[in-house]
Amino acid sequence: MPELNPQNIGLSASGLLLFRGERCLLNHLALRVAPGEGLVLRGPNGTGKTTLLRVLCGLTLPEEGDVHWNGIAIRQQRNEWQRALGWSGHKAGLKSELTVRENLEFAAALAGHRPGDIPAELGLAECLDLPARVLSAGQQRRSSLARVLLGNALVWLLDEPYTNLDTQGQAYLNACLDRHLAAGGIAVIASHGNAHSALGMTEQTLMNGALQ
């Protein structure tokens, strides 16, 4: 284990290059998010916000460049990185036949910790014991986010988390983000809408494969 350079702590990426067909989605993109910092990715549909998040979490392999966690490329320390990572994607990731509670318990076991209490503010109280297939879109989003919000991941990567949430849900998410960042966590969010995000987060726009 090389000694941790304070400049390296956190999530960073350098030289990310990715084509989808003829289009260059990431053009030698670089970014750095230090502990306690949050980044909101803005930009119209199709600019590659989701792709960038998938590259950051390690699902998509860039053609060139690497994503680093505490200074080491994530593909060289997959296990450490995935222990730090909480990912909520476009798809909810819920098994339709299992209840919300069972889904969350499974997610907790998968992440290697005991399932905690489910706070009332999450707004899932009345559907905890219903199978996930009967949930509304907003409830599904809440359940999917709950997996990250109630876990103990250091890095939250959330793709369009505000979609389908009502104002109360958005406020709760922002409160969670504030608490997470205040505790030294990291968050990267993709959001095309104008739902205003948590206070301490910087906004950047993804355009032509680079952050502006």
Partner 1 sequence: MWTWFHKLASPPHAYRLASLLQPWLFWLATALMAMGAYGGLFVAPSDYQMGDAFRILYIHAPAAYMSMAIYVIMAVTSAIGMIWRIKLAFAISAASAPLGAWFTALALASGAIWGQPMWGTWWVWDARLTSELILLFLYFGYMGLRAAYDDPNQADRASGIIAIVGVINVPIIKFSVDWWNTLHQPATISKLDNPSITADMLWPLLVMIVAFNLFYGAVLMNRFRCEILNRERNARWLPELL
Partner 2 sequence: MIAPVWLLLQREMRQSFRRWSDLISPLVFFVVVATLFPLAISPAADVLRQVGPGVLWVAALLSMLLSMNRLFRDDYEDGSLEQLVLAPQPLVLLVLGKVLAHWLQMVLPLLLLTPAVATAYDLPAEATWVLLLSLLLGTPALSLIGGITAALTVGLRQGAGVLAVLLLPLSIPVLIFGSRATDLAVTGMDTTGPLMLLGAMSILAASLAPFGIAAALRVSLD
User: Among 80, 110, 62, which residue's Cα sits nearest to residue 1?
Assistant: 80
Closest CB to partner 1 among residues 66, 80: 66
Decide: 65 and 15 in contact? Cβ < 8 Å: yes
d(CA 189, CA 201): 10
Closest CB to partner 1 among residues 61, 125: 61
Q: How many CB atoms lie within 10 A of CB 5?
A: 9
The 5-44 site mask, x for binding partner 1 (CB under 8 A), equals --------------xxxx----------------------
| Residue 6 binding result from partner 2, partner 1, none, given CB thresholds of 5 to 8 Å by partner type | none
Q: For residue 91, is it left (φ>0), alpha (ψ between -120 and 50) or beta?
A: beta
In angstroms, give the least distance from the CB of 29 to partner 1.
17
Out of 4, 59, 61, 125, the only residue in the binding site for partner 1 (CB under 8 A) is 61
Q: Quick check: 64 binds partner 2 (CB under 8 A)?
A: no
d(CA 202, CA 186): 12
Closest CB to partner 1 among residues 65, 169: 65
d(CA 89, CA 50): 8
| Residue 21 binding result from partner 2, partner 1, none, given CB thresholds of 5 to 8 Å by partner type | partner 1
Out of 91, 117, 120, 194, the only residue in the binding site for partner 2 (CB under 8 A) is 91
In angstroms, give the least distance from the CB of 68 to partner 1.
17
Out of 60, 163, 204, 205, the only residue in the binding site for partner 2 (CB under 8 A) is 60
Residue 87, strand partner residues: 157
d(CA 55, CA 85): 13
Annotate 130-187 with DSSP letters as a single string.
SBGGGS-HHHHHHHHHHHHHTS--SEEEEESTTTT--HHHHHHHHHHHHHHHHTT-EE
The contact set with partner 1 (CB under 8 A) reads 19-22, 61, 63
The contact set with partner 2 (CB under 8 A) reads 57-61, 79, 82-83, 85, 87, 89-98, 102, 106-107, 109-112, 131, 144, 147
